[in-house]
Amino acid sequence: MSNNSVTAHNSVPCNSTDTGPVVPTAPLISFLETLQNAALKAYGHKGFDPKLYVDLSLEQNLSTTIVAFEKLPRTENGSVSGHNLNGFIEKYLKGVGEDLVYAEPVDFVAEPEGFLRKVKNPEVRAWALEVHSLWKNLSRKVSCRVQERPGFHTLLPLKYPVMIPGSRFREVYYWDSYWVIRGLLVSKMYETAKGIVYNLLSLIEEFGYVLNGARAYYTNRSQPPFLSSMVIDIYDQTGDTNLIEKALPALLKEHEFWNSGIHKVIVQDAEGSRHTLNRYYAMWNKPRPESSTIDSEIASKLSNTCEKTKLYRELASTAESGWDFSTRWMRNGSDLASLATTSIVPVDLNAFILKMELDITSLAHVIGDNKIAARFMEASETRKKAMNSIFWNAEMGQWLDYWLSNFDASKDAYTWNASSQNQKLFASNFVPLWIQLFNSDVKVVDEVLRSLQNSGLLCPAGIATSLTNSGQQWDFPNGWAPLQHMIVEGLVRSRSEQARSIAADIAVKWIRTNYVAYKKTGNMHEKYNVEKCGDFGGGGEYVPQTGFGWSNGVVLAFLEEFGWPQDLELDCP
């Protein structure tokens, strides 16, 4: 199916009202957005990062700061000069990152006992120990100033030390944390890993869901739900039932968040059976504060307020997906204003919620809550059926995102239509393989493996995110650590020898490109160019970032799983 058929089938007329929920914003955020806008006018687009301005914190109270800002001299067009704005920021605001302080991880040792036993090559081992040591660089704790005066900061007060992704990302992110934890478990840093989980549990206690990130401006959305995976992986290595006791009530609350209200969608299949699945849907319909100037610019080409409000909802919902941005969510692959994420039922989100249901079943069993275990085992079987019915495409041997038709929007259920499956190739089409209910089915694994090998996504340096080179960062030629990891781990867990062989080949290519880029630049990177070994990725709305939490975690996880023989070449072929 071409993207055009999706477009024609789903074009959405703009009604005068956006009826979705909106989480109220704090006055500090509104002021910092005003400052962000003034800064863009004062300094210009070159090198401008809007997030910088909403990460600033106050020196004095907000009303005093606003009065001082309003008194700044303005030019005829209402803008403030760069010189005057610099002086204002210096006097009234604290620099970014000052609300986080360095925290020495309590459980870091230079070479943990039993670290990466399968790595036989001394050069790879030396590099792996350098990657392991990066946890010290990324470890922070929230300053006591944030605890004392939370209204002066957009950073949220978290009790335990955190691991930040790196560079412009100076706060905890939800789904990043899963691969950070996978790396910390290889590094035997169990207390640090538990602290990350306890922080995320505290967000559920306060907000009812895990936020996209630990900032006040991220309260309008979540991110792909991986908390249950973090809990079960830590439990598997530590046997800490206390963690399960604390986590289970929060996981039930998170499951409810994703399975009610705006995230819930009912689709009736060709046989008339009704299936409940889930979508991304942010509680926001204005520019995202951290990207306010960018979102306003994208929306400026739209003619009316209604269309702009709808686009702002789509931009925030795409950020909830973690894939911001990609042609996967666009009606027209060359136009970000055509984002339609709330009209898509995504394969991977539903795989993650299925994993959550299976995890809750296992965790409930451990602490003897058989009633919850039975309920969630039934929920997982129901979701597996729904995914096979709505997403599975037997001809392609993949699970495909499903586009909701606007013609059904007024009904209580959408009617399944084969032409509404998006047949474009994305790495997410293979993510269900990560889930035990799918990777334990030999026939399915064989079909999916054949499909993956013929997809064009397997490249010289890893798995491409899509086949479309759009200039967006979640598209070709970028490869991302989480996608490599889920697909590789799914293949390994399938117990098929051929699948393990393909998985090992992908992992070797990924480790190699990370190593060569590290040796060239001195950094681990957020994403990589899978066309060329040793080249980091680009595209999107900010410059390439380094650090980098999930890339470090996946390299360590791959080295633990596959090792590295003494005689295997490490440099690019």
Q: Which of 99, 348, 526, 560 is catalytic?
A: 526
Q: Are 458 and 510 in contact (CB under 8 A)?
A: no
Find all residues with CB under 8 Å of 169, minimum gap 6, and list them. 176, 213, 545, 547
DSSP state of 125: H
Tokens representing 525 are: 């990177």
CA distances 90 to 56, 60, 198, 290, 459, Å, are: 11, 12, 35, 20, 48
CA atoms within 13 A on the CB side of 331: 19
Q: Pick from 377, 203, 215, 206: which is nearest to 289 by CA?
A: 215
Q: Are 462 and 513 in contact (CB under 8 A)?
A: yes
Q: Are 529 and 155 in contact (CB under 8 A)?
A: no
408 is catalytic: no
Q: Pick from 433, 169, 164: which is nearest to 319 by CA?
A: 169
Place of tokens 């003897």: 368
Q: What are phi and psi of 434, to 5 degrees?
A: -70, -20
- Residue 272 sits at the vertex; the CA angle it makes with 267 and 273, to the nearest 5 degrees, is 60
DSSP helix/strand/coil, 152: helix
Exposure string over 235-265, b if 16+ CB within 10 A, otherwise e: beeeeeeebbeebbebbbebbebbbeebbeb
Q: Which of 171, 324, 475, 489 is catalytic?
A: 324
324 is catalytic: yes
Alpha-carbon radius of gyration of the chain: 23
Find all residues with CB under 8 Å of 351, minimum gap 6, and list them. 387, 399, 431, 432, 434, 435
Q: Pick from 192, 170, 173, 171: which is nearest to 182 by CA?
A: 192
Helix ranges (H only) for 417-457 are: 436-439, 442-453
Q: Are 263 and 280 in contact (CB under 8 A)?
A: yes
Peptide bond into 376 cis (omega under 30): no
CA distances 411 to 210, 265, 268, 408, Å, are: 30, 11, 11, 5
Q: What is the largest CA-CA distance in the chain?
A: 71
CA distances 274 to 87, 230, 514, Å, are: 61, 31, 45
**What residues act catalytically?**
324, 526
